[in-house]
Structure 1
Amino acid sequence: MPPAQLARVTSMRRSTRSLLLLIALVPLAGLFMLANERYRYVERVLFDWQVFWQSDSLEAIGLDQYRAVTEGQVINGLEDDVSGLSFDPDRKSLFTVTNQNPELVELSLDGRVLRRIALVGFGDAEAVEYISPGVYVISDERQLRLIQIHVDDSTKSLNAADAEQLTLGLTASGNKGYEGLAYDSRGKRLFVARERDPVQIIEVRGFPRVNADAPGNLQVITDGKRDGKLSVRDLSSLQFDEVSGHLLALSDESKRILELDTTGRPIGSGSLKEGDMGLSKSVPQAEGMAMDDEGTLYLVSEPNLFYVFRKP
């Protein structure tokens, strides 16, 4: 066979093999998508079943009763995406962080940027939590650090090297470390959300220290039984409700907010999908959640979108 004809035959064989491979991959992709949808359905049913049998309407916050009053409002004036959210009851404002060019950002309750504070040496700042007047904790997701900071009206920048830090002895899987923070001011407990692999809520006692002169008594508590019942793919933020003593857990991938009672049982949830909680569109990528002292719920989502939810 002449070389030119041989080349054409070889090319045709390669094209045929490529076509057959493509034909074989199409149904496999379809099966994968179907399996993924079934997984989501089973995940939803399992959680709803847990809530049905374990809920107590007198105790639950009633997340499903909340309705969006501000939806997808753009946070103007920031070049980087925000992550995490915390309500400051003293300043009556919100705090969030950016991680590409780390900053601590103060927002008004209607989503306007009030000020920006440069963060030096904070690595991948992922969440911020109010502790007490002028005191906050920032999580560094990649280096698995919790960093205590002090902020006043004159603060322009913060250096992690000057701050008290805590590194938990846990192994992160890729960029899947500390994703959310919540603080129980009465019980002096800091809750830390691990994003995934596995999804985990860690309870830290003794950090940050309430009294800097007091001896440290650090405790790190995990609850695998509770975490195994969360039925979500990831965790992106936490919020502790001081009134009920319940913990709220936000899942970006599952587009859901869970409510856990004082024993860690799931007793309620709110969906962040189109048509639920008064939303005209699904929240694209929820990254932070906070609740103020009047029970109003605030949410931030990539790409820098701001949400407010209230009960009617």
Structure 2
Amino acid sequence: MTRLSPLKSILLTLLVVVVLAALYFTAREYRVIERLWFNWHVFWQSTDAQALGLDEFEVVVEGKVIEGLDDVSALSYDPQRKTLFTVTNKHPELVELSLDGQVLRRIRLTGFGDAEAVEYISPGTYVISDEHGQRLIKVQVDDTTVALDARQAEQLTLGVGAGGNSGFEGLAYDNQGQRLFVAKERKPVQIIEVRGFPRANADPTNILEVTSSRQRDAGLFVRDLSSLQFDERSGHLLALSDESRQILELDTQGRPVANVSLSKGSMGLERSVPQAEGIAMGDDGTLYVVSEPNLFYAFRKK
């Protein structure tokens, strides 16, 4: 039997170490273990756990260009106005859209930094997130609003992990539980719960509580988070991932129970959604998605 020289043995060992390290970091980056665990869990669970029936949705509006916009980010449904709201960050604006993706009005934003998410809270009240500054900013909007200045608004700064382009990408609000869910994009992927902001009144004794769940975050097998949507009827949370091209359904315990792909062929899509940045759900259960730079999608159950 031919023996390897000491040098060749060292080189072979180094090669094995490099390959194993590459496999480890690839598995960690793409959340392979978490995905395998999710698939095993879904295989054995009852279909009742998948409250929203994501696999039953089909695209009805695909990749419609939102005229006049070039960097949409996030999406929120206003049940009073029966419209959608999004934000832009290159030229900061809060934009109101019709349910078929038409621009209804544009509200100029001043001092909001890198606005990445918007969420409806109550009639005329919204929260906008500043990704770089990790700020949550409460704003009031009515039919006459044409501009908003962050300096005149109630704000909350959360120094959670890394800033920069790994900050707050998505918001969702649980009206009954009075919880604001905040999606941290990456490093690590994280969902934060905030109670006590925005304040419902001027009560100075208002208690602020910020929590997160390591167990829930560890089960998120997506590479990033770009938007959130809370379903009041089931108590489930939808998490949108741009890089993984997935919509993930989390149950009331924060466990993934279902998912659907935003790639070509899924839900009747003729093309993959290129960069999904916002998700919202209407009163009738229609799912709306926006993708940078200015694409609009709508999905309804078959």
User: Please, what TM-score do these two structures have when normalized by structure 2?
Assistant: 0.88
Instruction: State yes or no: 1:181 paired with 2:171.
Output: yes
Question: Secondary structure of 1:277's match?
Answer: helix
- Matched to 1:220, the amino acid is V
AA at the equivalent of 2:57: Y
Q: Rg bigger for which structure?
A: 1
Q: Distance in 2 between matches of 1:37 and 1:224?
A: 19
Of stretches 212-221 and 248-257 in structure 1, the one that deviates more from structure 2 is: 212-221
Q: May I ask how many residue pairs the two structures share in their alignment?
A: 281
Between the aligned partners of 1:281 and 1:180, the Cα distance in structure 2 is 24
Indicate yes or no: 2:217 matched with 1:193: no
Unmatched runs of 5 consecutive residues or more in structure 1 = 1-27
TM-aligned CA deviation for residue 126 of structure 1: 0.2
Aligned to 1:136: 126
Cα distance change on mapping 1:138 and 1:41 into 2, 3 Å? closer
- Alignment partner, residue 41 of structure 2: 50
The SS at the match of 1:118 is: strand
User: For the residues of structure 2 that align with 1:86 and 1:211, how far apart are their CA atoms?
Assistant: 23
The Cα shift of 1:55 comes to 4.9
Runs of 4+ in 1 over 4 A off after TM superposition: 35-41
Q: Deviation of residue 196 (structure 1)?
A: 0.3
CA contact (8 A) 2:49 2:251 kept: no
Question: What is the alpha-carbon distance in structure 1 between the residues aligned to residue 31 and residue 208 of structure 2?
Answer: 40
1:157 aligns to 2:123 (yes or no): no
1:173–1:197 CA contact under 8 A, matched in 2:
no
SS at 2:248 equivalent:
strand
Counterpart AA for 1:237: S
Q: Structure 2 stretches of 5 or more lacking a match?
A: 1-17
* Residue pair 1:55, 1:267 contacting (<8 A) in 2 also: no
The root-mean-square deviation of aligned C-alpha atoms, in Å, is 2.1
After TM superposition, list the pairs within 5 Å mapping 1:106-255 onto structure 2. 106-213=96-203, 215-255=205-245
Shift of 1:211: 1.9
Q: Verify: 1:69 aligned to 2:64, yes or no.
A: no
Q: Which SS does the other structure have where 2:266 is aligned?
A: coil
Given that 1:122 and 1:160 are in contact with CA atoms closer than 8 Å, whether structure 2 keeps it comes out as yes
Q: What percent of counterpart residues are identical? A: 68
Summarize deviations over 1:238-260 as a string: whole Å, max 9, x none: 00000100000001000001101
Which letter maps to 2:235? G
Q: Conserved in 1, the CA contact under 8 Å of 2:194 and 2:208? A: yes
The correspondence of residues 224-303 of structure 1 with structure 2, limited to 5 A, is 224-303=214-293
Q: Aligned equivalents of 1:185 and 1:214: distance in 2?
A: 21
Could you tell me whether the CA contact under 8 Å between 1:257 and 1:270 is conserved in 2? yes
Could you tell me the TM-score, scaled by structure 1's length? Answer: 0.85
